[in-house]
């Protein structure tokens, strides 16, 4: 069973158990420990997964964090666990105190359903006030599964996670900002939008008159330009090509169906190559036979291709003469081992 199937199965398990869990201890044993076991950690090995880890804070001795995940004897992740019945907002300060007393680079605050991932992007050895990644195990989005896979023991790389944490953090902040503006456009946004349309004075009365119009136009614009492809990629759980799939993505009314699995493969390649070129330079084009990853949307500059059906999974790279080099893969995450080859192909086009 691959990681995508595991996480989806785990999500169904949490959904079935959540109403019967009433205490913090039950939350830990029924959901939180199985979550980290799913990430490949031996939750019954005290040399790897330490319960009640001592994290002395200043003059306070014997302060304990619920769990610490160790690698080579050194804590790398601190976990503060709360009851499934509790909200997490008021517990950030407790984890904040623990973070600065250890060598751990990551901290996770969870109630078994929501998982908040923190690091120290703003100031070394001081936990950021905002998480760089927050997931709801019952409302998982595809890009979150990709990021969560980085915390699996088999692929855990501190530097790699730190490199993407900053981007994730600011992406989340931009999304929150846009969400607020969609709900209630600020004076500044209204002024900006009407600046090139309305020639009169932008008084407060004018701003109030235009605010609902801006809100309506803004929301209509977003809804009209957001393709079915993007909405499905973010919100719909789609099976791989060839299986029965709810709400398939139809491109320009053709027979092409871009599946969730294909989109996730594209996002993986995009993430691998982002340290070499801007992420916007990595695009894709789907066909009835395969999905291709392109450089600057140029079909002559294809970086790789995927054939992902219910019977075969093939990863294709071009040689110097654009001839196919085919690699059978068991899972799309196998492409991470081809990072050097992807870089080599990309460098031909830069």
Q: Are 327 and 337 in contact (CB under 8 A)?
A: no
Residues 180 and 300 in one domain: no
Q: Of 40-54, 200-214, 300-314, give the lowest mean pLDDT range.
A: 200-214
What are the backbone dihedrals phi and psi of residue 64, each rounded to the nearest 5 degrees, phi first? -125, 140
The verdict on residue 288 lying in a domain is yes
For residues 241 and 204, membership in a common domain is answered with: no
130 plus 205 within the same structural domain: no
**Is residue 312 scored above 70 in pLDDT?**
yes
User: Is residue 161 domain-resident?
Assistant: no
Q: What tokens does 325 get?
A: 């080099």
Do 106 and 133 lie in one domain? The reply is yes
Q: What is the pTM of this model?
A: 0.55
Domain contains 138:
yes
Residues 96 and 148 in one domain: yes
Query: Considering the domain boundaries, does residue 335 fall inside one?
Result: yes
Same domain, residue pair 24 and 119: yes
- The pLDDT tens digits for 188-247 are 888 888 887 777 888 888 888 888 888 877 776 666 665 444 444 444 444 444 444 444
CB under 8 Å to 299, separation ≥6 — which residues?
Answer: 285, 292
- Let me know: does 99 contact 126? Beta carbons within 8 Å: yes
Residue 116: band (very low, low, confident or very high) from pLDDT cuts 50, 70, 90: very high
- CATH number of the domain enclosing 56: 3.90.1570.30
What are the C-alpha distances in Å from 133 to residues 102, 114, 201, 242? 21, 11, 42, 32
Q: How confident is the model at residue 135 (pLDDT cuts 50, 70, 90)?
A: very high
Total number of domains in the chain: 3
List the domain range (segments joined by +) for residue 262: 234-349
* Alpha-carbon distances of 236 from 21, 146, 310, rounded to whole Å: 28, 15, 19
List helix spans (H) across 129-197.
142-149, 158-183, 187-194
Give CA–CA dist 108/347, Å, rounded: 37
The domain boundary, picked from 126, 156, 186, lies at 156
> 91-95, 117-121, 206-210, 248-252: which range is least confident on average?
248-252
Same-domain check for residues 26 and 121: yes
Which residues, at least 6 apart from 102, have a Cβ–Cβ distance to it below 8 Å? Answer: 55, 68, 75, 78
């Amino acid at each position: 069973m691959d990681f995508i199937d595991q996480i989806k199965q785990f999500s169904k398990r949490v959904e079935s158990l959540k109403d019967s869990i009433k205490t913090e201890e039950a939350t830990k044993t029924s959901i939180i420990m199985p979550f980290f076991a799913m990430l490949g950690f031996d939750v019954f090995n005290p040399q790897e997964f330490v319960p009640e880890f001592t994290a002395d804070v200043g003059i306070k001795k014997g302060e304990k964090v619920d769990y610490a995940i160790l690698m080579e004897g050194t804590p790398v992740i601190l976990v503060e666990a709360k009851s499934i019945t509790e909200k997490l907002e008021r517990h950030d300060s407790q984890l904040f105190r623990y973070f600065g007393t250890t060598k751990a680079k990551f901290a996770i605050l969870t109630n078994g359903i929501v998982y908040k991932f923190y690091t120290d992007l703003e100031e070394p050895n001081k936990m950021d006030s905002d998480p760089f990644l927050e997931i709801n195990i019952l409302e998982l989005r595809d890009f979150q599964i990709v990021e969560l896979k980085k915390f699996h023991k088999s692929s855990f790389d501190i530097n790699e996670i730190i490199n993407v944490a900053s981007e994730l953090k600011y992406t989340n902040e931009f999304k929150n900002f846009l969400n607020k503006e969609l709900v209630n456009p600020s004076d500044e946004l209204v002024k900006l939008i009407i600046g090139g349309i309305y020639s009169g004075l932008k008084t407060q009365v004018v701003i109030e008159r235009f605010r609902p119009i801006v809100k309506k136009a803004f929301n209509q614009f977003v809804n009209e330009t957001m393709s079915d492809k993007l909405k499905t990629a973010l919100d719909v759980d789609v099976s791989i090509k060839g299986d029965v799939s709810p709400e398939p993505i139809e491109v320009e009314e053709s027979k092409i169906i871009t599946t969730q699995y294909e989109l996730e493969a594209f996002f993986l390649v995009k993430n691998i190559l982002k340290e070499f070129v801007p992420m916007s330079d990595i695009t894709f084009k789907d066909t009835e036979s395969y999905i291709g990853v392109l450089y600057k949307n140029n079909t002559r500059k294809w970086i790789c291709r995927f054939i992902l059906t219910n019977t075969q999974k093939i990863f294709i790279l071009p040689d110097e003469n654009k001839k196919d080099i085919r690699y059978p893969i068991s899972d799309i995450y196998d492409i991470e081992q081809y990072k050097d080859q992807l870089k080599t192909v990309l460098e031909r086009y830069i």
